[in-house]
A and B are shown apart, each in its own frame.
Chain A
Amino acid sequence: MDYVASRFPSTLEPVSFKLSSTLTADARAELVVELQFYGLLDRVIPYYTQDQIGGALLKRACVTGRGIHSFICQLSLSRFHL
């Protein structure tokens, strides 16, 4: 039995798993749903939830920043120097 185990290691317990870098956002979103269903999300995409939180923090700051940035652009156009 040990001989078989050493010659034919189980493929059900991968040592490591890396997502393809060519995975599209849509495909990734679908994969996340499936991984969540099977309880594998943390193993395949560690800290996925934290990444989402970080992205949300950045997006929130960017929305505010965008308004200010367009305001700066308008000032630049009017040759007004702060």
Chain B
Amino acid sequence: MLRSSCEVSECKALINGTKRALQTAVAQARALVIDMGSTTPWLVAEFQDLRYVITDRVVNGAPVWAAENGDWFMFRSGDGETMISTEAKCAAGDLACCIFNTVEHPDVLVPTQLSSNMWMSNKRATLRPQFTSAPKYDSSAAGPAAWVDVPDMRVTAVHGLDDVEPAMAAALRQLAAFPDDE
């Protein structure tokens, strides 16, 4: 039996946290394979329309998506941003990357949930004319890294588990049983 309002609020937080974790798992399972690219000419060919598949690696509490070309990895940084970088940087949880989404969220977000207009790219990932003409943001005084806004990034799920898949069906049933958010 819960005795105090403090215990009740702790209980609510636990329930909400568990529900969010379940919602995240469902969103991840619906976006096992994603295609990503800018909707206007912006990224260099290497990054444009690149397909990423989910892996069993976990960095900062979130799964890593690996590009099918094996060169690039999408992962969660320590401060909750989503980054695209090399395998070595991903393994180290390094903040150095070519493309990142500026949304810092305490919860794990699936790439398909990220805002399409919050992505930034650096010189390595951006077409030269676009990079030259766009306003730049310096991430640090020491480094040469300058970032430009990607006008509109498209992240599309191309493969995921169906709702009738047993694991997905069980998760959806469990989600439905949770009380609505207040």
Contact = CB atoms under 8 A, between A and B. Distances in A.
Chain A bound to chain B: yes
Interface of B: 1-2, 8, 11-12, 14-15, 18-19, 21-22, 24-26, 28-29, 32-33, 53-56, 63, 159-161, 165, 167-168, 170-171, 174-175, 177-179
Contacts of A82: 8, 11-12, 15, 179
B14 A54 contact: no
B144 to A, nearest CB: 36
B159 A50 contact: yes
Contacts of B14: 68
Interface in A47-69: 47, 50-51, 53-62, 64-66, 68-69
Q: Taking chain A's interface residues, is the majority helix, strand, or loop, or is none over half, making it mixed?
A: helix
**A interface bracket (residues with beta carbon within 8 Å of B):** 20 to 34
Contacts, number: 90
A50 B54 contact: yes
A61 B1 contact: no
A79 to B, nearest CB: 11
Contacts of A47: 32-33, 53, 159
Contact of A57 (B1, B53, B63): B63
- Counting from the closest, the 8 A-B pairs by CB-CB distance are A61-B25, A54-B29, A50-B32, A55-B167, A58-B167, A68-B18, A58-B171, A61-B22
Nearest to A57: B25
B15 A68 contact: yes
Contact of B1 (A46, A55, A78): A78
A69 B177 contact: yes
A72 B177 contact: yes
Among B11, B15, B25, B177, the one with the most A-chain Cβ atoms within 10 Å of its Cβ is B25
A66 B19 CA distance: 11
A80 interface: yes
Contact of A61 (B12, B15, B24, B161): B24
